[in-house]
């Protein structure tokens, strides 16, 4: 199976188990969509929906939220594909 690898850090490993293999192109699209919506939401709500990290000036996204949001985006696209068949 092919996968995209992020930059090397202590928080870079996140395994997603999907119902089928998806191409690198689809993975890239999913990552871009995730980052775009996350950044737009951070700007709109001043990152208040994110968890504080060490102090009030630093925010971080939890793995749980990330997994759920990626899952939502993946199945939203998958359902759209099924409707268009």
Could you report the per-residue pLDDT of 41-51, keeping only the tens digit for each? 988 888 887 87
Enumerate the domain spans of the chain.
24-83
- Average pLDDT score over the chain: 79
Q: What percent of the chain has pLDDT over 70?
A: 79
Question: SS in 3 state form for the chain?
Answer: CCCCCCCCCCCCCCCCCCCCCCCHHHHHHHHHHHHHHHHHHHHHHCCCCCEEECEEEEEECCHHHHHHHHHHHHHHHHHHHHHCC
Express each pLDDT in 27-40 by its tens digit.
889 989 999 999 99
Q: Is the pTM of this model over 0.85?
A: no
Q: What is residue 35's predicted lDDT score, i.e. its pLDDT?
A: 92
């Amino acid at each position: 199976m092919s996968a995209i690898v992020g930059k090397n850090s202590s928080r870079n490993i996140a395994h997603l188990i999907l119902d089928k293999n998806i191409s690198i192109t689809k993975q890239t699209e999913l990552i871009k969509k995730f980052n775009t919506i996350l950044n737009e939401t951070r700007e709109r709500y001043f990152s208040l929906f994110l968890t504080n990290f060490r102090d009030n000036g630093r925010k971080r996204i939890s793995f749980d939220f990330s997994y759920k949001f990626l899952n939502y985006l993946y199945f939203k696209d998958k359902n759209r594909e099924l409707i268009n068949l």
